[in-house]
Amino acid sequence: MTSAHTLPPRVTDEKRGRKLLGGIALPVGILALLIAGSVLSEQFLTARNLTNVLINMSIVGIIVVGMTFVFIVRGLADLSVPAMVAIGALLALGLQPALGSLPAAMFGVAAASCAGLINGLLIGYARLNPVITTLATGTIVLGVAQAAVGGVIVYGDSPGLQSFLTGRLLGVPVIVLIFLAVALGGHLLLSRTTFGRWVYATGANPDATKASAVPLRFTKGAAFWMTATLSGFSGVLLGLTLQTARPGVGTGYEFDAITAVVVGGVSLLGGFGNMPRALGGLLLVTLLSNIMVLNGIATESQGLVMGALIAAAVALDVYLRRRGGAS
């Protein structure tokens, strides 16, 4: 019966309290977490801890920016993120002796970008299933990355870049500044450019979009290419900050990014959501994770909460659409 059900699009309608669920829930949730955090732990509301939260957010946040495009364009999800992060980190460190640190970093991003191009071609132009495709390309890229460095941990030898990245500019950690710049760029691209409009339209109604002379395949492919490139960039930053990288360095980043986007209320069914929402979701998830860590819950176990959050958020989205159809 599932295919017989027609789900209406999700629209923000001021009526019926839906706005409340969609728009206000997020800030309220964040506020509630801030209060809960400060009650539960004394360390929580310190500048030091909150700075940590911001830094933790930054690496994932760069990926979230890309993943938001994938979601809105109705591309489901990009599961090749860990591989792209890994290849970025491994190449940025592993190639330092040969190329110098900056070229090596650029090479890392370029490699992920090339792999992203393949994702884009396969998903946008050959119309393959995005989840299977990115799962497969991710496995391949990770294998290639491991083969390239011999499957071992690589260490960096360029403290210069590391200290720049971990340092501060005008009192703000540089890595946070980079994240904010990427986020702003992503936000403007999504909300203010032709391409951004194409992304929304493609996700909202692919048939009508194609009939409106929009390059549908390009738009979808580009979203995946962007996500891979940003993941590679994020990996480079991660590698340079840590100065070590192993092939498994990116594990879990895809879920963190997906969780943030979904919790932010960006619709997995396409066409709905925006960058501030996704980043709000990211902030909420990061705060939640921070509170759990401060209260002694290990990072690995937090997936219990995160998995439930994803299921709940998606179920809510499906529910809202069905309600939309009833009205």
Residues in 212-231 at the binding interface with another protein, rule: CB under 8 A: 212-215
In three-state secondary structure terms, 210 is helix
Distance CA(235)–CA(89), nearest Å, equals: 5
Q: How far is the CB of 175 from another protein (least distance, A)?
A: 26
Q: Binding to another protein by residue 29, rule CB under 8 A? A: no
Q: Which is nearer to another protein, 229 or 259 (CB)?
A: 259
Site string for another protein, 50-79 (x = CB under 8 A): ------------------------x-xx--
DSSP 222-276: HHHHHHHHHHHHHHHHHHHHHSEE-GGGGTTHHHHHHHHHHHTT--TTSS---HH
Q: How far is the CB of 112 from another protein (least distance, A)?
A: 16
Assess 47 for contact with another protein (CB under 8 A).
no
Among 35, 147, 172, 184, binds another protein (CB under 8 A): 147
Among 92, 193, 221, 225, binds another protein (CB under 8 A): 193
**SS3 of residue 213 by DSSP:** coil
Work out the angle at residue 165's Cα, subtended by the Cα atoms of residues 162 and 167, and round it to the nearest 5 degrees. 100
Residue 268 interacting with another protein (CB under 8 A): yes
- Give the residue with the Cβ less far from another protein, 167 or 307: 307
Nearest-angstrom CA–CA distance, 27 and 306: 18
Q: Which parts of 100-139 interact with another protein (CB under 8 A)?
A: 122, 126-129, 131-133, 135-139
Instruction: For residue 29, give the 3-state DSSP assignment.
Output: helix
